[in-house]
């Protein structure tokens, strides 16, 4: 008898040059994605960039105009949703209102003609996994939003699918529950080792749960990388703008280095000499011991860090994020510089 423990038979997922239009609006074009077995990735992007459409194509709820979707090494584009062996949690509450929690959870097992005894044990186990074993006899309308989404997760996992798809499952919940549940989802995913695609428009959520993040913009994947590399070396300005905060600083480029506050900083990608704008993270802005070149406008305490607004003598406004122990007063004259991290020129 199979049980819900580690090493569910996971599969890789490959999406190749998928395109999709609704009428005259092109929602996806040349959409590529390659996910390793057991990996959890996020599709991150602004609202309307095509995340849900991409997920629905992977699920088979929408058919692509072109391209392929491989589950393992099998092209599943023509396989109907109900035969793709996947689990999905939707943005809106999707529990069956006429069934109690146990029956909702057992639904997929019933479809697979699992016998009653095994159905009961596996259902109980899935509910224990999401911490709702005491609520098995409740009906969906008797549960909070967070509980409903946990049941939906149990329902999606109970069949041990090859692929788990989550379409903004937390967006209807309030902030505290959202953080708890996303951590719980990640723990369960790691424990089961199930290949997972998590759709979100919330960068913090994506950074918190993903092995890798595919940042989407206007129907394409702009960059697909680990959270850390996305943050440190964004490939495009859209990625830099979407993940964390970036300051735009005008510079002169020579020999693929930018001159920033008298410091030669390497560029991430080669670029012709001349005027350019580079993106700098607020935590890479620092104050050094030298001739003052800027004035502090304001400084606010954020707990572990402080955020200080500066204006350079050239009239450029900068945000500096620094440790709380370093105090700066308004009107104070300082010498501002940057850490020598490679920067992206746009």
Ligand X SMILES: Nc1ncnc2c1ncn2[C@@H]1O[C@H](COP(=O)(O)OP(=O)(O)O)[C@@H](O)[C@H]1O
In this chain, which stretch among 19-27, 34-42, 97-105, 117-125 interacts with ligand X, using CB under 6 A?
19-27
In this chain, which stretch among 42-50, 205-213, 256-264, 321-329 interacts with ligand X, using CB under 6 A?
42-50
Q: How far apart are CA 208 and CA 30, in angstroms?
A: 27
Task: Identify the H or E element spanning 74.
Answer: strand 74-75
Which of 154, 165, 206, 287 contacts another protein by CB under 8 A? 165
Within 13 Å and on the Cβ side, how many CA atoms surround 212? 14
Residue 104 as a binder of ligand X (CB under 6 A): the answer is no
Which of 40, 49, 114, 287 contacts ligand X by CB under 6 A? 49
Residue 203 as a binder of ligand X (CB under 6 A): the answer is no
Which of 27, 132, 320, 328 contacts ligand X by CB under 6 A? 27
List, in sequence order, every residue forming a beta bridge with 41; answer none if it has no partner.
Answer: 197, 212
If you search the block for the tokens 């954020």, which residue do you land on? 302
* Partner interacting with residue 137 (select from ligand X, another protein, Mg ion, none; CB below 5-8 Å by kind): another protein
In this chain, which stretch among 22-30, 63-71, 225-233, 255-263 interacts with ligand X, using CB under 6 A?
22-30
Residue 50 as a binder of ligand X (CB under 6 A): the answer is yes
Residue 148 as a binder of another protein (CB under 8 A): the answer is no
Count the helices and strands in the chain (H runs, E runs). Answer: 8, 20
| DSSP string for 173-202 | S-HHHHHHHHHHHHHHHHHHT-EEEEEES-
| DSSP string for 127-188 | HHHTT-GGGTT--GGGS-HHHHHHHHHHHHHTT--SEEEEESTTTTS-HHHHHHHHHHHHHH
Residue 42 as a binder of ligand X (CB under 6 A): the answer is no
Taking the complex as a whole, the smallest distance from the CB of residue 51 to Mg ion amounts, in Å, to 5
Residue 203 as a binder of Mg ion (CB under 5 A): the answer is no
Taking the complex as a whole, the smallest distance from the CB of residue 201 to Mg ion amounts, in Å, to 8
Residue 85 as a binder of another protein (CB under 8 A): the answer is yes
Residue 42 as a binder of Mg ion (CB under 5 A): the answer is no
Structure tokens at 122: 């596996």
Write the interaction track for Mg ion spanning residues 45-84; mark x where CB under 5 A is met and - where it is not.
-------x--------------------------------
**What is the phi-psi region of residue 334: left when phi exceeds 0, alpha when psi lies from -120 to 50, beta otherwise?**
beta
Going by C-alpha positions, the residue among 124, 193, 112 that lies closest to residue 159 is 112
| DSSP string for 286-320 | EEESSS--EEEEEEEE-SSEEEEEEEETTS-EEEE
Taking the complex as a whole, the smallest distance from the CB of residue 29 to another protein amounts, in Å, to 24
Taking the complex as a whole, the smallest distance from the CB of residue 50 to ligand X amounts, in Å, to 4
Q: How many amino acids of this chain bind another protein (CB under 8 A)?
A: 35
CA 342 from centroid of its chain's CA atoms: 24
CA 282 from centroid of its chain's CA atoms: 22
In this chain, which stretch among 28-36, 87-95, 314-322, 328-336 interacts with another protein, using CB under 8 A?
87-95
**Phi, psi at residue 121, to the nearest 5°?**
-65, -45
CB nearer Mg ion, residue 52 or residue 196 = 52
Residue 92 as a binder of ligand X (CB under 6 A): the answer is no
Residue 128 as a binder of another protein (CB under 8 A): the answer is no
Binding site for ligand X (CB under 6 A): 22, 25, 27, 45, 47-53
Binding site for Mg ion (CB under 5 A): 52
Binding site for another protein (CB under 8 A): 59, 61, 80-88, 90, 92-98, 100, 107-108, 111-112, 134, 137-139, 141-142, 152, 155-156, 159, 165
């Amino acid at each position: 008898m199979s049980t819900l423990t580690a090493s569910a038979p996971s599969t890789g997922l490959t999406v190749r040059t998928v395109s999709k239009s609704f009428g005259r609006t092109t929602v996806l074009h040349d959409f590529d994605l390659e996910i390793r077995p057991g990996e959890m990735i996020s599709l991150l992007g602004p609202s309307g960039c095509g995340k849900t459409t991409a997920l629905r194509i992977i699920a088979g709820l929408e058919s692509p105009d072109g391209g392929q979707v491989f589950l393992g090494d099998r092209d599943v584009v023509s396989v109907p949703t109900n035969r793709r062996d996947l689990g999905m949690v939707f943005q809106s509450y999707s529990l069956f209102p006429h069934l109690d929690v146990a029956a909702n959870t057992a639904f997929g097992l019933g479809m697979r003609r699992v016998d009653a005894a095994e159905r009961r044990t596996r259902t109980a186990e899935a509910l224990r996994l999401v911490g709702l074993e005491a609520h098995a006899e409740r009906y969906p309308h008797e549960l909070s939003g967070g509980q409903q989404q946990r049941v939906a997760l149990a329902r999606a996992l109970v069949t041990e699918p090859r692929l788990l798809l989550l379409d903004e499952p937390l967006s209807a919940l309030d902030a505290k529950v959202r953080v708890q549940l996303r951590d719980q989802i990640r723990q369960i995913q790691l424990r089961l080792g199930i290949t997972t695609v998590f759709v979100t428009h919330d960068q913090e959520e994506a950074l918190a749960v993903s092995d890798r993040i595919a940042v989407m913009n206007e129907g394409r994947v702009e960059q697909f990388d680990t959270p850390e590399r996305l943050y440190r070396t964004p490939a495009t300005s859209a990625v830099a703008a979407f993940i964390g905060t970036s300051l735009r600083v005008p510079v002169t480029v020579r020999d693929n280095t930018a001159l920033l506050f008298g410091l030669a900083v390497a560029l991430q990608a080669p670029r012709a000499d001349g005027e350019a704008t580079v993106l700098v993270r607020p935590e890479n802005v620092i104050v050094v011991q030298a001739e003052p070149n800027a004035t502090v406008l304001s400084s606010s305490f954020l707990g572990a860090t402080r955020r200080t607004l500066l204006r350079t003598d050239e009239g450029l406004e900068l945000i500096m994020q620094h440790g709380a122990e370093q105090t700066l007063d308004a009107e104070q004259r300082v010498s501002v510089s940057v850490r020598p991290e490679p920067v992206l020129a746009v």
